[in-house]
Chain A
Amino acid sequence: MTAPMTDPPRKARRRLLDSDLWFSFSRSPTVVAATAVAAIMLLGALLAPLIAPQDPFDLSSLSILDAHVPPAWMIGHDHSFLLGSDDQGRDVLSAILYGSRISIGVGFASVALALVLGVSLGLLAGYAGGRLDAWIMRTAEIQLSFPTILIALLLNGVLRSALPAHMQDQLAVPVLILAIGISGWVQYARTVRGTTLVEKNKEYVQAARLIGIHPVMIMLKHILPNTMGPVLVIATIHLAVAIITEATLSFLGVGVPPTEPSLGTLIRIGNDFLFSGEWWITIFPGAALAILVLAVNLLGDWLRDALNPKLR
């Protein structure tokens, strides 16, 4: 992944859009399908208020009489609940649409946070070198020796309990984003640092330095574009990890509050009904989560292979 991209920035960008990437994209039906699935789920999440049959957060529209309705192809179904309903009479399909909104939103936000954090620290470490580099990379190393999920769990727990009680639910989502984001910066930093070390000694950077261009400008305009290929790959794979982490924390009951359930929360709620035979309350949100993550993973996998000249 750290394969240096030797061309100057503009050429690298052109190569990204060059026929090779497009060729391997259009050649692989799996990737095209994964992209389509990811796009559909993204659209569904964005347009949830418009397309969902029901607003699961509007308690007045829920009726306990509609509770425990099985999916539309089973005995005892109700046509207004395509994927059945839960114990409060909430439409499972609507809950999934709204839930994936939060899952995907938290996923993107924490990836963005980790990316900005990791890329800046990586650039800084690689460009500045010396003691700063040593400190950043040592911190990264220590963090890397602990599983991401543990760090997110701990950060989330500590940050939350440091908040006053009445704000805990209110700030649950930002705290979650912060925890997942901080737990994921290391990969970006290591990759960007590696590329920076290579690029730093290239003639064009030396030349830019000689004519007195500000280091920050050199980092942003000359070095940063070279790191974008690998960073894109990491970000895609990290998106899948972030969505899983959010779902896991929510499943464990320390993520988003049940008043605004994500896919993980839905699975947690439905898990209690698994034994009484109402499997659809947990299995459908679970399937939605699995399909979403699989699609993103497939994209990431393909991107990594397509951008890695060694495997071509």
Chain B
Amino acid sequence: MFSPRQRSRFPVPPGTSRLIVAQLAGRATGSSETKATTMLAFILKRLAQSLLVMFFVALIAFLMFQFVGDPVHQMVGIETTLEEREELRETLGLNDPVLVQFSRFVSAAATFDFGISYQHKKPVADMILSRMPATLELSILSALFALAFGVPIGAYTGLHRNTWLSHVLMTVSLIGVSLPTFLIGILLIFVFAVILGWLPSFGRGDVVDLGWWSTGLLTITGLKALILPSITLGLFQMTLIMRLVRSEMLEVLRTDYIKFARARGLPDRVVHFRHALKNALVPVITVTGLQLGSIIAFAIITETVFQWPGMGLLFLQSIQTVDIPIMSAYLILIAFIVVAINLVVDILYYVIDPRLRSARNTEARP
């Protein structure tokens, strides 16, 4: 992937000649240029990979049209004659060679044109766009919830692995992993909506329309409506992050540099939260980023339980009615979001871990 790291293996005793010192100094400053190039190469490589993924996803989305049902059949009534159908096929370009159809499909998708829904007879892009704010607000809030609780609890259980509180938290987290998302939602509704009557059990509450974005964050009912769905959606990710932080902490605490940090007399606070936690969080960034895509996908379930008017609910309905344009558009959109997040995460990772900036092959342990 990268050229192996250049190591200065110069043994330089205290009284080395100025020449060598100058050489070494030159290398130290000169390396920043190569850094920038490897960084660029790295990003370009990831970008190419992302494009490849998007190509495959587009292919799958396109093939769904080919193999599942006949679009003409979906669009017309029973009384349409065979000639009219054939004419429609011709105008839709369905008689063109497959490659031509595919390239047309890709260029249309690239301009956010996903055709007309079979079921609703409306442009798919508009339908998805109008439902995107609901899903994104829910997903981002869930991710924040998962991080805000997952990281501190994980760090605590990693640092104090044998206290009773850690055992309780670990057991609870395992229960959290074992409860399917929809069941968590049902339980929360049962307790907080049915029994206690504190929070609403479905919908977004009042939303404020900002023109291009409808938000539930600006009204009391909107915020109240967000609580249960965000917890439902975020709980699984929270337990995941917590367990990851814990195991990374345990791993990092065993390393020599932590032992050496202790041997230098640094206070526990510094050793744990400055040194150990920072190292433990490096892989957490990747996982959290990747989980964000997962959260958006899991929103399908949460949105069903809470009748949340987002993209996931739309997608599920489209599966039940075999509304291929919506299915393929959702697939492409999710793929795009996942790929974009992956790209950002990779770059972030690169920025955070200085070892990766100069080499990826030599010291592989992240």
| In the complex, A touching B (Cβ < 8 A) | yes
Is the Cβ of A162 less than 8 Å from the Cβ of B53?
no
Is the Cβ of B69 less than 8 Å from the Cβ of A161?
yes
Interface residues of A in 282-300 (CB under 8 A from B): 282-283, 286, 289-290, 293-294, 297-298
Let me know if A251 is at the binding interface, CB within 8 A.
yes
Is the Cβ of A271 less than 8 Å from the Cβ of B186?
yes
Mask, A145-185, CB within 8 Å of B = 1, is: 11101100110011001100000000000000000000000
Interface residues of B in 295-326 (CB under 8 A from A): 297-298, 300-301, 304-305, 316, 319-320, 322
Chain A interface size, as a band, is 35 or more
Q: Which residues of A contact B53 (CB under 8 A)?
A: 142, 145
Let me know if A140 is at the binding interface, CB within 8 A.
no
Is the Cβ of B68 less than 8 Å from the Cβ of A161?
yes
Question: Shortest Cβ distance from A131 into chain B, in angstroms?
Answer: 15
Q: Which residues of A contact B316 (CB under 8 A)?
A: 153, 252, 254
Question: Which of A119-127, A203-211, A240-248 lies at the interface?
Answer: A240-248
Is the Cβ of A150 less than 8 Å from the Cβ of B334?
yes
Distance between Cα atoms of A289 and B182 in the complex (Å): 12
Question: Which of B33-41, B80-88, B173-181 lies at the interface?
Answer: B173-181
Residue of A145, A247, A271, A297 near B177 (CB, 8 A) is A297
Is the Cβ of A254 less than 8 Å from the Cβ of B301?
no
Is the Cβ of A279 less than 8 Å from the Cβ of B68?
no
Residue of A with least CB distance to B304: A252
Is the Cβ of B294 less than 8 Å from the Cβ of A147?
yes
The 3 A-B residue pairs whose C-beta atoms are closest, nearest first, are A294-B178, A157-B319, A147-B297
Residue numbers of B with Cβ under 8 A of A are: 53, 56, 64, 67-69, 174-175, 177-183, 186-187, 189-190, 194, 201, 290, 293-294, 297-298, 300-301, 304-305, 316, 319-320, 322, 327, 331, 334-335, 338-339, 342
Beyond the given pairs A158-B68, A271-B305, A282-B186, 12 more chain A to chain B contacts, judged by CB atoms under 8 angstroms and listed by A's residue number, are A145-B338, A146-B335, A147-B293, A149-B301, A153-B300, A244-B180, A251-B304, A286-B186, A286-B187, A290-B180, A297-B174, A298-B174
Between A and B, 26 residue pairs with Cβ closer than 8 Å are: A145-B338, A146-B297, A146-B335, A146-B338, A147-B294, A147-B297, A153-B319, A157-B319, A157-B327, A158-B67, A158-B327, A162-B67, A251-B182, A252-B316, A271-B186, A275-B201, A279-B194, A283-B187, A286-B183, A286-B187, A290-B178, A290-B180, A290-B183, A293-B179, A294-B174, A301-B174
